Structure 1
Amino acid sequence: MCEARSVGTQPAAERGRRLLDRVLAGVPTGESPLRHVRELPERAATSVPWPDWVSGSLRGAFERCGVVAPWAHQVEAATHAREGRNVVIATGTASGKSLAYQVPVLSALAEDRRATALYLSPTKALGADQLRSVAALDVPEVRAASFDGDTPLPERDWARAHSRWIFTNPDMLHRGILPAHAKWAQFFRRLAFVVVDECHGYRGVFGSHVALLLRRLRRVARRYGTDPVFMLASATVSDPAESASLLAGVPCEAVTADRSPRGARTVALWEPPLLDAYQGENGAPVRRSAGAETARILTDLVVEGARTLAFVRSRRGAELTALSARHALSEVDSSLPARVAAYRAGFLPEERRALEKDFASGSLLGVASTNALELGVDIAGLDAVVVAGYPGTLASFWQQAGRAGRAGDGSLVVFVAQDNPLDTYLVHNPTAMLDKPVEATVIDPTNPYVLAPQLACAASELPLADACLSTFGGAVARRVVDDLVADGVLRRRPTGWYWTSRERPQASVDIRGSGGEQIAVVESDSGRLLGTVNPGSACATVHPGAVYLHQGTSYVVDELELEDGLAMVHREDPEWSTTPREQVDISVLSTVERQVHGGGAVSVGLGEVAVTSHVVGYLRRLPSGQVLDQIPLDLPEQTLHTRAVWYTLSEALLAEAGVPHRHVPGALHAAEHAAIGLLPLFATCDRWDIGGVSTALHPDTGEATVFVHDGHPGGAGFADRGHAALIPWLTATRDAIAACECPAGCPSCVQSPKCGNGNEPLDKQGAVAVLDALLRILVTKKGETAA
């Protein structure tokens, strides 16, 4: 698959606007869902000559794929790598980052017939796509090959013995390559380059694991006498040199000036309309769901013949969006429903490959996908992208938006707001989304919950020595090693620390932070594997009685066996959906930082907490939102040790703020929900990465307290970011609640779709009063203004 470069024939700005007019057709006058439209202009390319060190045959290979001359940033990055410097190229989607690392790697492999290279991507789909791209260049003797979970065993043996450029992912490097490094000795002795693609996706717990995994990789390479050059590719991020250096563990040069062409884009911020006929929980007004609105937009664009990718926030949402669009299209043209599909993680490999091929070829016109298609898969020439709900970071939003208008064509990008505080805030404050710099990634390789298992893995590969601990965190790593020795995991000898068990630890260490092995979803009648579910969310998503969607077909869960990693389902299409009910408690284990303000009226804390959650039942709801019944469940409690930021308010301050004692729980609960919704503006997370607990009297603080905690063991840095940006974070939270026009609280301000208490109790006005009182004291203390 070569990287084609062409220019659309229709004027770019007109093309995007025409598509927007099409999806607006039929909207009644005065009821437009548009909140803001921004025209992003075209950008001309800056091409430069090929460097002298690029051979004529390699130039010819790229020219056959349509690349006559490289862009300036591609040559800049390739030259850094050629001269032995580690480099990160952080430019926009479709800016040719692949060529930037392909040129130095392929040049090195051609010049030294013994040299090898390793490519890592966060998804198997991206790795397969990039392998096809290299294969299309047809450079002799490279013998590029895949080595991932989808690779058959005989092909793995061939790749290990003969391939000079291995395409894999962190999971296989962790479980299949490094533990068996002796079998890979020939490959490691010749390793010249390591490519880490889409490195902005390595954040939180997963990113922290990958950072330590790359240190393990460098350690093994040094054992065989090599010190490979690292090339990292990223979407546009803040301070890419610092982020890449922390991830790779080596200093990296940054290339950030994007010299590729970009077609004009029409970016529309879209707020679904209120549904007058329906009321939500506690009588709150309800907007048409982002998924339903996205399905309607997708339908209109497919009818128009526009190749469209809709990003939806959940697996279930992707299924429902595709299903709704197919149903609507069946009433227009019987041939169109077959040209729309869902794409998500959890599909079987052959299903994913077939969908990717059909979408790339144009057989599919519309695809509703989770972020599984965000990262780099070369789906070129799309006319439109619809983003249903804020994807958690600005970097992800622009990465998803960049799928539209590739190869210089004009395009349409529609951001459809979900009914939550953050999305509502963004469509009404477009500068926060369209003009704000993208975030820096957040990783913490010294997180002991990550460092301990990674050091155990490293010791099982090669004994640890004092000299190598500095690579893994210095004094922090030494303390963790001492704990592993005390627990009997490692044994201290004069030459270092050794792994004590016959069993390798890699199989039990989950680098994606999902809490263990995936739960297999199996159809009872046929024994067919339908997909997999994250074990951390299994109790909430595949509990007995839950409705599970796969490829547009509904199933009902019969039983969930957590120990066996199995959920058994049968095919059924009930008229209701299911929503779990959950009880959550939190306890403070240790306080890292605590500040008292206003003579004790307010305190702010940061520390380690234990969060105990228990799914106790589920609701069955009709499409109208009406609750049919609540069914109890008998499932085990789950405890998470993580990091949290919290604030307390004295009883006197609450009284002074005009919040009666009986309204305190609802006021704190509403403030908690809104704070969770707005934190992604200040940390690289989304609301599903974090959680919260509020209480009118917490036993560990002795006062009314609101906690916001990370949703990963040991923490992922999000609570710390919230603590560092406390005043602007809580100011945005207060403003979002106050600006909402609903009378008593709704999903746009204080209701949460993930609330295990059914959004009860909630007090919108009380939340504003609480935050006003809190900010008044914090701002006075800091000498700042809340504006």
Structure 2
Amino acid sequence: MNGESAPAGPVPEDLLRTLVGDHPERLVHVHEVPARRAVLGAWPEWVDPTLLGSLLASGIEAPWSHQVEVAQAAHAGHHVVVSTGTASGKSLGYHLPMLSDIIAGATAPNGRGATALYLSPTKALAADQLSRIDRLALPAVRPATYDGDTPTDERRWIRDHANLVLTNPDLLHHSLLPGHERWSSFLRALRYVVVDECHVYKGVFGAHMAAVLRRLRRVAARYRSEPTFVFASATVADPEEHASRLLGMPVTPVTRDGSPRASMTFALWEPPLLVDETGQPSRVSTITETGELLAGCVREHVQTVAFARSRAGVEVVARIAKERVPVTDEHRVAAYRGGYLPEERRELERSLRAKELLGLAATNALELGVDVSGLDAVLLAGWPGTLSSLWQQAGRAGRSGERSLAVLVASDDPLDTFVVHHPEAIFGRGIEATVVDPDNPHVLGPHLAAAAAELPVTEADVEIFGPQTRVLLDALVARGILKKRPRGWFWGREDRPADHLSLRGAGEPVRIIETRTGRVVGTVDDSSAHSQVHTGAVHLHQGQTWVITELDLDDHAAFAVRGDPGWTTQAQSVSDFQIVHETEHEEWGPLRCSFGHVTVRHQVTSFLRRLPGGEVLGEHPLDLPPRSLATKAVWWTMPVEDLTAAGVAEDGIPGAAHAAEHAAIGMLPLFATADRWDIGGVSTALHPDTGLPTILIYDGHPGGAGFAERGYRRIRPWLSATRDAIDSCECPEGCPSCIQSPKCGNGNEPLDKRGAVALLDLVLRHADPGAGGAQ
């Protein structure tokens, strides 16, 4: 046996029957994920006896096969990536060689011996790893977390004495690499680098991580160390390719999961379609439905996590669940999301592990932020963006040896509507390929400047950073950022480049400050501030309602007063785009599909006040500056006469194009490792750069993130699925399940459902499936 036993969980069929009640039509499909039997391995002979004794005492009698495979590869000095299921014990695979070598080196003459670096995307996951290692009680291992919360007086001790440092990529970028001289003894002895949850490093964040790891490799080489890198992920389509692109070197994959798992019942659930008093169709809110289901699970004493996609959604799910459970159980329901203060998050994590909490509504901060498994059930409020995230979240359910339940509650979105009625889109295919572009010049250029500030960049480093390196270095010299000397490229300024470069591309977070006391209530990302905490916005935090009285962009602060005004707010915006450079295109008869560089301009111009029933009380103007985004996009053009012949009159083009754009954005995550919120779109009946009706879908990240390019490569199946999702929706004129968008800045006007189907029929009729851009 590998792990601990637990009390029996509920029978999924009985729980589902209770949740369904008198509305069986909501249960669209039930899929049984089969059980998996354990495959055990033998402890490697080189494992330190003290470590082995601690593991045996903890109840781990024998390792699983994948743990042994990872351990042997890493111990032999091979870079390795392990991609097995959630809660499959991946950490033991790298703990065996890492801790054994640290223990063996503890008696070295210099007292430092071997060292190791553990990198996770969140502080909480590093804290979990520390707790797990501390429980082994190994005297020779001196672990420590080192992050933004670490007191200054502890940092020197960690640099000089810790032999296992657990941190995150941000601190590696901002502190360790720029100050590598202070870490010289640690780096000289660096034997292992663990990159946990490596599937998170995709898109722009992945490009940043790839650059940081290359910077780490060259700084380590400066101290004559060549550490072995171990990557770990529960969900990544091609782990070998993904990890190799991140590291820039070949990586050995371990993908055969030897851990046991009981079967899981996976239900697809669709809230009912109702008709309001005006005769318009609308579904019961996914958030409301998920809150009801969470309450139902809590009433049955089933420990459940409900994942919602937005911070506001998390707060509402928790509030609804609290209202629906007995008063005596209200304290057993809570919300968990980013933006909470650290002490709030730690207490929630402790309560969940201790089983004091029965129902928790969470964003994916819990998916990645803390190692919690063994829950009875998981609810997903809407498609989480990717199949990778879906299985990562669903994998939280499943006590040792006991069956579990996962429920995907469809939201009003074309992709959600499509997948619950096409279960083969979930259960019949592998997870998406992860997009990482280490050569993204918007990312690599600033990192080359940071690298030059750490150590002069030499000709030998060009191979480490890739083919774009020389061009970018020359550009940095031309802009006066670097200086070219015979020995390489040097940083020649007073400041530090790392101080001006955020790995997460979010800028400085905006603090939400209580006006009366000056207390910081929470934070929001800089990119979300214009739409979420503008002056007059109604904001939810820990179930409490706040009204924003002022947004100070210069000070990165939003001032708020507590209170519920009785309405919600929704930001309105305008967008336009300029085609900078078309890099590829396909001619489809009179139509043209293109991929290339664009600049998108976006401005929040006003906000609506809405009553709980959806009625608009009024629109209020805002004076916020526009934002420009240089990115990559896929776009296609259609002549007016061809649209007219297809049944889309000239005055109907704006509504048809706008509806097709919304639905295409909603469906792209099925074909690229993206979330709907990673993607933007603009449509126009006449664009000045093309002279034609144009629909454009773009990456919502500077320089692009690979999502639009993946859409261009798979344009035909993508738009075919988009057309089917619109046409099969049961609503007469269009609804959030097909063509309405939750993030439309124009209030979902104008939209034409029938026109969108006709427009997409025209595109698909002309698209050549054999052409390179229309596969």
TM-score (norm 2): 0.97
Distance 1:266 1:758 in 2: 38
Once the two structures are TM-superposed, the CA of residue 368 in structure 1 deviates from its matched residue by: 0.4
Instruction: Label 1:447 to 1:77 Cα distance change in 2 as closer, same or farther (>3 A).
Output: same
Q: CA deviation at 1:327?
A: 1.6
Kept in 2, the 8 Å contact 1:121–1:197? The answer is yes
CA contact (8 A) 1:597 1:781 kept: no
**Equivalent residue, structure 1, for 2:392:** 399
Contact 1:517 1:565 in 2 (8 A): yes
Of 563, 571, 574, which residue of structure 2 is paired with 1:580?
571
Distance 1:154 1:33 in 2: 57
694 and 19 in structure 1: CA distance in 2 versus 1, 3 angstrom threshold? same
Q: Give 1:149 shift.
A: 1.5
Report the equivalent of 2:649: 660
Paired residues for 1:612-631 under 5 Å: 612-631=601-620
Q: Does the 8 Å contact 2:2/2:64 carry over to 1?
A: no
SS of residue paired to 1:712: coil
Which segment drifts farther, 197-206 or 378-387? 378-387
Kept in 2, the 8 Å contact 1:240–1:440? The answer is no
Distance 1:479 1:784 in 2: 28
Read off the aligned partner of 2:452 and give its amino acid letter.
Answer: A
C-alpha distance in structure 2 between counterparts of 1:144 and 1:233, whole Å: 20
Query: Paired residue for 1:739?
Result: 728
Deviation at 1:762, TM superposition (A): 0.5
Partners of 2:549 and 2:668 in 1: how far apart?
37
Partner of 1:94: 87
> What letter corresponds to residue 470 of structure 2 in structure 1?
R
User: Residue 767 of structure 2 corresponds to which residue in structure 1?
Assistant: 778
Where 1:140 maps in the other structure, the secondary structure is: coil
Change over 3 Å in CA distance of 1:785–1:130 after alignment to 2: closer
| Mapped contact 2:98–2:192 kept (Cα < 8 A) | yes
Asked whether the 8 Å contact 1:465–1:496 carries over to 2, the reply is yes
Partner of 1:233: 232
* Per-residue Cα deviation, 1:134-180 (whole angstroms, up to 9, x for no partner): 11111122110000122222222221121100000011111111111
Q: Once the two structures are superposed, what CA deviation does each residue of 1:449-479 show, in whole Å capped at 9, x if it has no partner? A: 10111111111111111110221112x1111
Match of 1:62 among 55, 60, 64: 55
Q: 1:760 and 1:732 mapped to 2: Cα distance?
A: 23
CA distance in 1 between partners of 2:611 and 2:236 (Å): 42
Match of 1:76 in 2: 69
Distance 2:316 2:769 in 1: 49
Structure 2: stretches of 5+ with no match in the other structure: 107-112
CA distance in 1, matches of 2:743, 2:595: 23
Letter in 2 for 1:211: A
Matched, 1:496 2:522: no
**In 1, Cα distance between the equivalents of 2:20 and 2:53?**
47
How far is the alpha carbon of 1:444 from its aligned partner? 0.8
Distance 1:531 1:278, change over 3 A: farther
Q: Displacement of 1:436 after TM fit?
A: 1.1
Determine whether 1:52 maps to 2:51: no
Whether 2:201 is the aligned partner of 1:209: answer no
1:550 to 537, 541, 545: 541
Which structure 2 residues correspond to residues 39-188 of structure 1 after superposition, within 5 A? 39-113=32-106, 114-188=113-187
User: Match of 1:371?
Assistant: 364
Paired residue secondary structure (1:375): helix
Quote the Cα distance in structure 2 between the aligned partners of 1:278 and 1:470.
Answer: 66
For the residue of structure 1 that corresponds to 2:477, the secondary structure is helix
Alignment CA distance shift 1:376-1:410 (3 Å): farther
- Partners of 1:175 and 1:278 in 2: CA distance: 56
Give the conservation status (yes or no) of the 8 Å contact 2:66–2:255. Answer: yes
CA distance in 1, matches of 2:688, 2:190: 56
Q: How many residues align?
A: 769
- Within 5 Å, which residues of 2 pair with 1:586-605? 586-598=577-589, 601-605=590-594
In the alignment, does 2:427 pair up with 1:438? no
Q: 1:779 to 1:540 in 2, by over 3 A?
A: same
Partner of 1:688: 677
Q: Name the % identity.
A: 53
Q: 1:782 Cα shift?
A: 4.2
- Cα displacement (A) at 1:5: 2.8
Q: CA deviation at 1:571?
A: 0.7
**Aligned runs of 1:242-641 on 2, under 5 Å?**
242-277=241-276, 284-329=280-325, 332=326, 334-375=327-368, 377-474=370-467, 476-514=468-506, 516-598=507-589, 601-641=590-630
Please list the CA deviations of residues 173-219 of structure 1 after superposition, one character each: whole Å capped at 9, or x if unmatched.
11111111110001000000000000001111111101110000111
Query: Which whole-Å deviations, capped at 9, do the CAs of 1:423-443 have from their partners, x for residues lacking one?
Result: 110000001012210112111
Change (3 A) 1:783 1:372: closer
- Rounded Cα–Cα distance in structure 2 between residues aligned with 1:391 and 1:482: 42
Between the aligned partners of 1:56 and 1:246, the Cα distance in structure 2 is 36
Amino acid at match of 2:350: K
Q: 1:609 to 1:317 in 2, by over 3 A?
A: same
1:3 deviates by 7.9
Give the Cα–Cα distance (whole angstroms) in 2 for the partners of residues 726 and 380 of structure 1: 38
Match of 1:646 in 2: 635
Question: 1:30-71, CA deviations, whole angstroms, 9 ceiling, x for partnerless residues?
Answer: x52111001122211111221111132211111222211000
Question: CA 1:394/1:781 → structure 2, altered by over 3 Å: closer, same or farther?
Answer: closer
Per-residue deviation, residues 220-274 of structure 1 (Å, max 9, x unmatched):
1000000000000012322110111001222110000111011111100000112
Q: Retained in 1: the 8 A contact 2:2–2:61?
A: no
d(CA) in 2 for partners of 1:524, 1:785: 55
Using the TM superposition, give the Cα deviation of residue 376 of structure 1 relative to its aligned residue in structure 2, in angstroms: 6.7
Distance 1:529 1:584 in 2: 32
CA distance in 2 between counterparts of 1:785 and 1:664 reads 23
- Cα distance, 1:344 vs structure 2: 0.5
Contact kept, 8 Å, 2:2 with 2:62, in 1: the verdict is: no
Counterparts of 2:769 and 2:259, CA distance in 1: 48
Q: Could you tell me how far apart the structure 2 residues matched to 1:81 and 1:759 are?
A: 53
Distance 2:196 2:773 in 1: 41
Q: Quick check: 2:585–2:773 contact (8 Å CA) kept in 1?
A: no
SS at match of 1:119: strand
Partner of 2:109: none
- Measured in 2, the distance between the counterparts of 1:306 and 1:158 equals 44
Other structure's SS at 2:138 match: coil
Tell me the amino acid that sits aligned with residue 131 of structure 1: L
Secondary structure of the residue aligned to 1:32 is helix
Partners of 1:284 and 1:745 within 8 A in 2: no
Code of the residue aligned with 2:54 in structure 1: it is A
Q: Does 1:708 align with 2:700?
A: no
- Counterparts of 2:579 and 2:768, CA distance in 1: 26
Q: 2:16 aligns with which of 12, 15, 20?
A: 20
The one-letter amino acid of 1:652's match is: E
Contact 1:94 1:407 in 2 (8 A): no
Say yes or no: does 1:675 pair with 2:671: no
In the alignment, the residues of structure 1 paired with residue 577 and residue 401 of structure 2 have an alpha-carbon distance, to the nearest angstrom, of: 51
3-state SS of paired residue (2:51): helix
Alpha-carbon distance in 1 for matches of 2:637, 2:276: 40
Which of 680, 701, 708 is the aligned partner of 1:719?
Answer: 708
Residue 295 of structure 1 aligns with an amino acid whose one-letter code is G
